Amino acid sequence: MSNTLVEVGNATINPLTHIWHNLVIYLPGLIGAIIVVVIGFLIGLLFGHIIKNLLVRWKLDNWVKKNDFSHILLNIKLSNLIGQLIKWGIFIAFLAPAAALIRLPELSSLITKFALWVPSVIFAIIITVFGLILAKMVSRNIHVSKDHKVSKVVSDIIQVTIIVLILDVALKQIGVQIGFIETIILIIVGGIVLALAIAIGIGFSGSVREYSKQILELVAPKKVKKK
């Protein structure tokens, strides 16, 4: 009977001892990790708010609206977007040192990899946003005659080409390899450019023929007089 009571007591005490032992080992690190995460969030919140207010003061959103870039950004205020990216970027930068305090190798490794990957996503978003704005600006300011029939087509093709290149860079930034898709896109863009070149050549052929005829009409009488 006494042996049974001892076994029951050990079966009850051992799990509690194991839990207490784990708490003593991991609890300080967990508390430290929570403190680091909270500090990181507060710092990110502060800097994000400061940057957002500076951009609003510099009238960045007014410039976006004035130049008709709002639809490119899906009507999201650029100052707010940049502020949010900075806030979460700083917060995530604190995740890696916080994970190191937990003393759980698997979880710490997973959080560290995530913390190192997220900045690439943030840079990819920034590249995409400013790339879309750049594509629109370049397309709008192409020096092509307004009377030319293909001016709109030229600007659209250049805009699409820039967007494709920007998206390619952004996707590579987050580790997405699209070599096969790149080849297909280059073939399509090359085909469009070739078709455009042929169309421009055909469009100009009539003008060149007329111009040549006028030159011949001016030169021919002079040759008759010499005879």
Structural tokens at position 60: 């960045």
Q: What is the pLDDT of residue 60?
A: 87
Domain range list for the chain = 2-177
CA–CA dist 10, 148 (Å, integer): 92
Structural tokens at position 65: 């609206």
CA–CA dist 118, 49 (Å, integer): 20
Structural tokens at position 101: 């305090």
What is the mean pLDDT of the segment spanning 139-168?
Answer: 68
The whole model's pTM is what?
Answer: 0.67
Cβ neighbours for 155, distance < 8 A, ≥ 6 positions apart: 139, 140, 142, 144
CA–CA dist 126, 173 (Å, integer): 11
Q: What is the pLDDT of residue 45?
A: 94
Structural tokens at position 30: 């967990």
What is the mean pLDDT of the segment spanning 178-207?
Answer: 63
DSSP line for the chain:
-HHHHHHHHHHHHHHHHHHHHHHHHHHHHHHHHHHHHHHHHHHHHHHHHHHHHHHHHTTHHHHHHHTT-TTTTTT--HHHHHHHHHHHHHHHHTHHHHHHTT--HHHHHHHHHHHHHHHHHHHHHHHHHHHHHHHHHHHHT----TT-TTHHHHHHHHHHHHHHHHHHHHHHHTT---HHHHHHHHHHHHHHHHHHHHHHHHHHHHHHHHHHHHHHHHHHHHHHHH-
% of the chain with per-residue pLDDT over 70: 60
CA–CA dist 91, 43 (Å, integer): 7
> Is pLDDT at 182 greater than 60 in this prediction?
yes
Query: Among the ranges 77-81, 179-183, 191-195, 221-225, which has the highest mean pLDDT value?
Result: 77-81
pLDDT band (50, 70, 90) for residue 169: confident
pLDDT in tens, 35-90: 999 999 999 999 999 999 999 999 888 888 888 888 877 788 889 999 999 999 99
pLDDT band (50, 70, 90) for residue 193: low
% of the chain with per-residue pLDDT over 90: 14
Mean pLDDT of all residues belonging to the chain: 74
What is the mean pLDDT of the segment spanning 138-164?
Answer: 67
